[in-house]
Structure 1
Amino acid sequence: MITMDHLERLENKSIHIMREAYNQFKNLGMLWSIGKDSTVLLWLARKAFFGHVPFPLVHIDTGYKIPEMIEHRDRLAKEWNLDMVYGQNRTALNEKQTFPDGTTTHLDCCKLLKTQALENTLNGKWPRYRMNHKKSQYEIDSNNEAFEGIIVGVRADEEGSRSKERYFSPRNTHNDWIIEDQPPEFWNQYKTDFHPGTHIRVHPLLDWTELDIWEYIERENIPMVSLYFDKGEGKRYRSLGCWPCTKPVDSHAANVHQIIAELKTGKFVNIAERDGRAQDKEDGGGLEVLRRDGYM
């Protein structure tokens, strides 16, 4: 009998969930934030579909992402021939309705640049920008069809409100998350038949931990944006977001193996992974307010 180790079991379940989503939902996409979790998700999608990702990768560009993240996104999109799409709240950016401009709070900035941009990118009401691989540049996408389902790299252990998620989580037509109306999921049985107009979030990484992610990255040799590693200054990012609101942590981990060792020694055992995210503190230490309104 063939036995699987812990990471193989996680991989097998995640691939099964992605294939089930692809089979059940007509217009499917996957969010790619360029962070470690969604990049592992992208790697799993390539394994699930034998090297080809059969749905678009969607990135919500707030205009304040660390430039190295955007460079990493476009480099892998070209190398792996990804169907890369991004959306933005260009009105808020042009009118300077942002926290860095001093006109909104962290939370309101997130609602404008992330939540509203996500909702209107997924439903096709705002312009999408799709990579033209022949020209190696982004162009306005002529396809404005709404996504019926979107695959997301959410982990239950990452933040309190995410522990309430399901593998297949329904949202209403406005992307609102009604926690009290989530379907039960017992014995690996998932509800995938929802009322027309329901938007579905799919969470293949729900059972993974931060340590699982890094151990899988090491095993598979998955390319990561270098912001996660110390470059000799005793600082690195543990969680990636917008540069005005995300702070690095004190750490000398310069490679994946050292990050794993650091996690195993308990250096961050009492420090939340998103501790450096300013919007979480403004939300009372969690993301439930934002996530009920459709935040990733």
Structure 2
Amino acid sequence: MSHLDALESQSIYILREAYNRLKPLGMLWSLGKDSNVMLWLARKAFLGHVPFAAIHVDTGKKFPEMYEFRERFSKEWNLNLIVRDCPPVDSVDPSLPPAARSAARKTEGLKRVMNEFGFKGIIAGIRRDEQATRAKERVFSPRADNGAWNFRDQPPEFWDHFKSDLPEGAHLRVHPLLAWTELDIWRYIERENIPVVSLYYSKNGKRYRSLGDQDITSPVESNASTIAEIIQELETTKTSERAGRAMDHEREDAFERLRASGYM
């Protein structure tokens, strides 16, 4: 079994465990490379059909290419797509730095989705290598009734034994891609021929490594215009994946505050 085969097998196991234990269950679809891989894995896990809702918590500030991608592939993949808008920025904690405050709209949007549909499990495409706070996560991660995450008190997960019992009002975030790296994601996209938004490929010497809102996301210098060139670039680059995310350049604790309050 290759490294990618092992990652795929583990992720499919996690998705099936989540579906078996948690009802109702939903999967966040950010339209980025990680969540596209996650949906692809779900289709493999359930014989070509995704048996739970794909949820896009929409800030209204995504790139046009992302919205076009959503409309096309939600139909091609026959997804049960739930799209809900985020509240305005003036409803978000004003003590957060500007970019983090803008991003926090998604936290409030997700809380509204949770209240509307009563999901007991939310599948999210985060990875440990992506950001230091996310490295503290568990695969089955409990959240309080208000979505808050206590990163100082998390269940052990020895030998893929996951804890799924919950108090009333709480839910679990499920993270099938935690063990993957950015390189793993792109090597799997290449192997499986998974569609991704065109913004990941270089245009005029720049491309996006991580996709967010237009006003708080910037491209990085790059000439990688194919998946093979992206993989080659990632094998040597010293630029971080989230270098183009404005909130990652704000106060050191901003992202941890976002995650603790329920951010994806």
TM-score bracket for the superposition, by shorter chain length: over 0.9
Q: Deviations over 1:79-131 (max 9, x none)?
A: 111101111125x17xxx499xxxx82222222x211111111221xxxxxxx
Q: Aligned to 2:215, what secondary structure does the other structure show?
A: coil
TM-score by length of 2: 0.95
The gaps in structure 2 that reach 5 residues or longer are none
- The 8 Å contact of residues 58 and 84 in structure 2, kept in 1 or not, is answered as yes
Number of the residue aligned with 1:282: 250
Pick from 138, 143, 149 the counterpart of residue 166 of structure 1: 138
- Counterpart amino acid of residue 115 in structure 1: T
Aligned-partner Cα distance in 2 for 1:45–1:283? 36
RMSD between superposed Cα atoms in Å: 1.6
Identity %: 55
Stretch of structure 1 that moved more, 114-123 or 15-24: 114-123
Spell out the pairing of 1:1-296 with structure 2 (5 A cutoff).
Answer: 4-90=1-87, 92=88, 97=90, 105-111=98-104, 113-124=105-116, 145-231=117-203, 233-264=204-235, 266-267=236-237, 269=238, 271-284=239-252, 287-296=255-264
Q: Deviations over 1:209-268 (max 9, x none)?
A: 00000000000000111000013x00100000000110001001001111001111x12x
Deviation at 1:283, TM superposition (A): 3.6
- The 8 Å contact of residues 170 and 177 in structure 1, kept in 2 or not, is answered as yes
| Count of aligned residue pairs for this structure pair | 260
The list of structure 1 runs, each at least 4 consecutive aligned residues, that deviate by more than 6 angstroms after superposition, is none
- Counterpart amino acid of residue 219 in structure 2: P
- The 8 Å contact of residues 160 and 286 in structure 1, kept in 2 or not, is answered as no
Aligned-partner Cα distance in 1 for 2:64–2:205? 21
Q: Aligned to 1:34, what secondary structure does the other structure show?
A: coil
Q: Aligned to 2:224, what secondary structure does the other structure show?
A: coil
More helix by share: 2
- The 8 Å contact of residues 159 and 272 in structure 1, kept in 2 or not, is answered as no
- Counterpart amino acid of residue 177 in structure 1: W
Stretch of structure 1 that moved more, 23-32 or 283-292: 283-292
TM-score by length of 1: 0.85
- The 8 Å contact of residues 4 and 184 in structure 2, kept in 1 or not, is answered as yes
The gaps in structure 1 that reach 5 residues or longer are 125-144
Structure of greater Rg: 1
